[in-house]
Structure 1
Amino acid sequence: MPDHSPRADAPTREQRVSRTFVALADSLVDEFDIAEFLDLLTTGAVDLLSVTAAGVILRAPGGGLEVLSSTSRQADLLEQFAVQVDDGPCIDCVRTGVAVTCADLGTDGWRWPRYTAGAQECGFRCAHAIPMRLRGETIGVLSLLGTEPGALDDERLELGQALADVTTIAILQHRAIELGDQLSTQLRTALDSRVVIEQAKGILAQRGALSMDESFAALRGYARSHSQRLAAVAGAVVAGTADLDAILIPGPRGSTPQA
């Protein structure tokens, strides 16, 4: 019979938790890159909280909401839709500053009819929203999505809140250091980077006959393995100066690089 026991050299969950928080802390030591930081947060959340996808919605300086990170195209589509129709657990969470969970959108999603319809279209069956909050200020929400119904136990909720808290403190600290103006610039840069990343994903998807998620996995894996910024690699792809074959080579098609 096949052996499904963990490999002896596989990191334990405690080790993965430690590595995620260390990576988040390390990203604050040098020049702060909000896009990279949020990518670490969302990929770490998927790994540690056993969810299918994660995303981050932040308040822009003008008060509107912007989707700044997501781990899959379907998650991104749903989060963008939630912001557009102003509906969903993530929207309630950012308004109230309180975690909102829905273990089964099929039975409890009546609270958010438009969001639930969109979630089902995107293949998600449960949704959980954790506030990015410091004292009375809520700056955004960490959204966790699953393709099967399921609740988050207290341990995972607490860990998810800890991840959101670290991110909140990092963003607010940097806002204070830069007197607030720099955050606006960084949010705009993150949005601009996101557009370039989406364009690069499309180019790689066409070149390698991949899905958008597979092309993003290849792009991110190449950036990490070469210690380059995701946005920089994406910009080279869009500019036509990147070696597309080198980016598409790592790992079997459809594999996701490990953090």
Structure 2
Amino acid sequence: MGADRERRLLQMIIALVGSATGSGDLSGRLQHLADESAALFDVHAAGLMLFGSDHRLQITASVGHHSGLLELLQLEVGDGPCLEAARTGSVVSIPDVRVAEPRWPHFCRAAADAGYTAVHSIPLRLRTTVIGSLNLFGESAGAFDEDDLVAARALADIAAISLLQQRSIDDAVTTQGQLQAALDSRTVIEQAKGWIANRNGVDTATAFSLLRDHARRNQLPLAEVALAVLAGRTTLG
């Protein structure tokens, strides 16, 4: 890992540690983790799944073309590498989805159709407690670089510690409310992405970039910008 990527990784770790006791924009922090993971590990898409208050996995953040759809597909069919990582607490790495098709036929065919060849799923865990998975999608076949795997596991572990620490400090009702709010925010963000894409005649990845860039530029929560777009108070593009 080069010096620039190492510095960026450390900055992400510092941000996660600093947010461990914070109550701010949880949805935005999770999205930031997905964004940085895609950039740090040189993959074309990344996503996060967390167990909700009902103990079922849900998509909480994603970046990249079709990444959210691939995770949604796994939730619908009840199987896939991202679910397995979250359920078992073990890293699940697929260097080539074509080879893994007999194991997960629906997911592997969908991944190949979307242009992704390699998938690496890292559990978010602290000892025996697993709260979700960090999922990386690449367009080139090949095993995950060993140094990158170590770094990805460290990042996922620290993310888990950050979320669990926040849970232990807050009372159960508040914490579950925040996690559920993050899941609800994701629904609003997806609706806004679709609206922007339809209005501007662009794909959803471009629509999301417009939404995210406006939120960062104006230092606003992502969900707040999405609501403003849907209400007609903000026009992007």
Shared fold (TM-score greater than 0.5)? yes
Q: Is the 8 A contact 1:46 1:54 kept in 2?
A: yes
Deviation at 1:175, TM superposition (A): 1.1
Give a deviation string over 1:177-214, Cα, whole Å, max 9, x none. 12322232122211221121112112222332211110
Distance in 1 (CA, whole Å) between partners of 2:4 and 2:55 is 41
- 1:9-24 to 2 correspondences below 5 Å: 12-24=4-16
Distance in 1 (CA, whole Å) between partners of 2:43 and 2:100 is 19
**Structure 2, gaps ≥5 residues long:** none
Q: Which moved more, 1:17-26 or 1:218-227?
A: 17-26
Which residue identity lines up with residue 187 of structure 2 in the other structure? V
Q: Is the 8 A contact 2:20 2:166 kept in 1?
A: no
Q: Is the 8 A contact 1:53 1:70 kept in 2?
A: yes
1:56 aligns with 2:48: yes
Deviation at 1:46, TM superposition (A): 0.6
Deviation at 1:232, TM superposition (A): 0.8
Structure 2 counterpart of 1:137, from 126, 129, 136: 129
Distance in 1 (CA, whole Å) between partners of 2:84 and 2:22 is 34
Distance in 1 (CA, whole Å) between partners of 2:51 and 2:177 is 13
Distance in 2 (CA, whole Å) between partners of 1:73 and 1:93 is 22
Partner of 1:198: 190
1:148 aligns with 2:140: yes
Give a deviation string over 1:121-160, Cα, whole Å, max 9, x none. 3221111110111111111111111122121111101111
2:35 aligned counterpart, secondary structure: helix
Distance in 2 (CA, whole Å) between partners of 1:206 and 1:84 is 26
Partner of 2:116: 124
What RMSD in Å do the two structures reach over aligned CA positions? 1.7
Q: Is the 8 A contact 1:130 1:141 kept in 2?
A: yes
Distance in 1 (CA, whole Å) between partners of 2:226 and 2:84 is 33
Partner of 1:88: 80
Q: Is the 8 A contact 1:102 1:109 kept in 2?
A: no
Partner of 2:212: 220
Distance in 2 (CA, whole Å) between partners of 1:140 and 1:118 is 22
Larger RCO (CA within 8 A; separation ≥ 6):
2
Distance in 2 (CA, whole Å) between partners of 1:42 and 1:121 is 22
Deviation at 1:171, TM superposition (A): 0.9
1:174 aligns with 2:166: yes
Deviation at 1:73, TM superposition (A): 4.6
| Aligned length in residues | 235
Distance in 2 (CA, whole Å) between partners of 1:61 and 1:201 is 26
Distance in 1 (CA, whole Å) between partners of 2:65 and 2:13 is 25
- Relative to the length of structure 2, the TM-score reads 0.93
**Structure 1, gaps ≥5 residues long:** 1-10, 249-259
Q: Is the 8 A contact 1:45 1:54 kept in 2?
A: yes
Q: Which moved more, 1:25-34 or 1:36-45?
A: 25-34
